Amino acid sequence: MSRILVAGGGVAGLVTAIALRHAGFQVAVFEAHPTGADGKGAFLTIMANGLDALRAIDAEHLVLDRSFPSTAVRMRNGHDRPLGELAIPSPDPEHGPRTMRRADLYRALAEEARRRGVEIQHGKRLVGVRHHGTVTAYFDDDTRIGGDLLVGADGVRSTTRTLIDPQAPQPEYTGWNLAMGAVRDVLPASRRDCYYMYFGRRATCGHITAPDGETWWFANVPCGERELAGATPAQLRQRLGDLFAGDQIGTVQAIRTTADDQLTATACYQLPTVPTWSGNGMTLVGDALHVASPSTTQGASMAIEDGVTLAKCLRDEPDLTAALHLYERLRRDRVERVVRTGFRKLGPRVPGPLQRLLRDRAVARRARNPEVDWLHLHHIDWDVSVTG
Ligand SMILES: Cc1cc2nc3c(=O)[nH]c(=O)nc-3n(C[C@H](O)[C@H](O)[C@H](O)COP(=O)(O)OP(=O)(O)OC[C@H]3O[C@@H](n4cnc5c(N)ncnc54)[C@H](O)[C@@H]3O)c2cc1C
């Protein structure tokens, strides 16, 4: 195989491109947006399994150099009383979860991909594909580009998924928007390697403070899918104020003082299973293939695992169809299990008093008995062949 096309230049597309280069392939990435990512209030945590997969392709430093450790989640109720503390599993203190700005990750991955010889073109939206032994990808600027395989890394609303299977399921709205923001020096200098997660009367929220004093917060807003889409920052702030009214929650102080240009809200989706992963010279990685609730904090890490595993399969199995079957065999159970984990975490949209009590007890129980080692301690050995 000589040339692989990747549609989508998010975490999944860029890591897949780097991994494919690491395996010796020629790669080109086509991203629909005219420019790179913007940084509006958005952050994310890469878990130990995501870091492990980056290490396999000598790219772990891209995260380590721009992030800080996030080792635990301190859970509290709306009265600011502790419910429990969850230590996020990691193989050792050096390689545990790390939190960083989303835009910093995109920028670092894009620079690294280019440095390793990946061609990246912006303003190219995939609209169609023709398969005739090789693939020709068609873009919305009336151009077409040929390759041996097209990897769809085009996110939740993947075009590639539908090109592979017109009957492919669409992601389901979870009933929540996730509001996020960043604000500097508002909260006391508490432990800085730790998430604070609050289970309030009507909703949940949380924050983490970076070593430089910037607090990054999130709030789960139960609402209609498009309800916050046109909200002004003032309306969004008001909505969040109402949601947490009467709760004694540290995060609320951060929400109140966040500047307009650092406030954002995104609808959250779940996609539990995609029956057909590959076909007609195409396959899928990242959110195009599986969408877990953000509460799993695994979307980016799973996307990284996908890209590295796919590259290994293509490197080790010369027959393309067999390589793509192998990729599915190695990944399907794991990614579907992660999405199911997230499904479990979604509570009723606005809990009543009894549901709140049961929820708080369940949270405390989970903190005492975390069952997540299968998830975070996953290891990919680049030097071991997947074909045995
Ligand atoms: C609010 C929020 C917070 C989150 N926090 C975390 C977290 O802390 N940790 C974590 O691991 N995960 C988190 N996630 C999930 C994580 O962000 C995603 O799982 C991850 O970004 C998936 O990466 P991706 O590259 O598959 O998709 P995306 O990041 O969506 O990238 C897809 C790219 O494809 C492009 N594209 C779309 N269509 C086309 C097309 N037709 N042609 C070409 N390009 C196209 C898009 O412009 C986009 O750049 C969060 C998600 C949300 C919504």
Q: What is the pLDDT of residues 270-323, one digit of tens each?
A: 999 999 999 999 999 999 999 998 888 999 999 999 999 999 999 999 999 999
H-state helical runs in 23-166: 48-56, 61-64, 102-115, 159-164
What is the structure's pLDDT at 371?
61
Is 126's C-beta closer than 6 angstroms to any atom of ligand 1?
yes
What is the structure's pLDDT at 240?
96
Highest-pLDDT range among 32-46, 76-90, 293-307: 293-307
Is 99's C-beta closer than 6 angstroms to any atom of ligand 1?
no
Is 11's C-beta closer than 6 angstroms to any atom of ligand 1?
yes
Nearest-angstrom CA–CA distance, 196 and 78: 12
Which of 38, 287, 298, 306 for a ligand 1 pocket mutation test, highest count of atoms within 8 Å of Cβ?
A: 287
Is pLDDT of 379 > 80?
Answer: yes
- Model confidence pLDDT, tens digit, residues 322-378: 999 999 999 999 999 999 887 654 455 667 777 777 777 777 777 666 666 888 999
Percent of the chain at pLDDT > 90 equals: 74
Which of 11, 163, 208, 331 for a ligand 1 pocket mutation test, highest count of atoms within 8 Å of Cβ?
A: 11
Ligand 1 centroid to 14 CA: how many Å? 11
CATH number of 3-171+271-376: 3.50.50.60
Is 151's C-beta closer than 6 angstroms to any atom of ligand 1?
no
Best CATH choice for the domain 172-269 from the list 3.30.70.920, 3.30.9.30, 3.20.20.70, 3.40.50.300: 3.30.9.30
Is 33's C-beta closer than 6 angstroms to any atom of ligand 1?
yes
Please state, rounded to an integer, the average pLDDT across all residues of the chain. 91
Give domain limits for the chain. 3-171+271-376, 172-269
What is the structure's pLDDT at 98?
96
Q: CB-based contacts of 325: which residues, under 8 Å, 6+ apart? A: 278
Percent of the chain at pLDDT > 70 equals: 94
Ligand 1 centroid to 146 CA: how many Å? 25
Of 53, 51, 56, 41, the C-alpha closest to 98 is 51
Nearest-angstrom CA–CA distance, 253 and 246: 13
- Model confidence pLDDT, tens digit, residues 206-226: 999 999 889 999 999 999 999
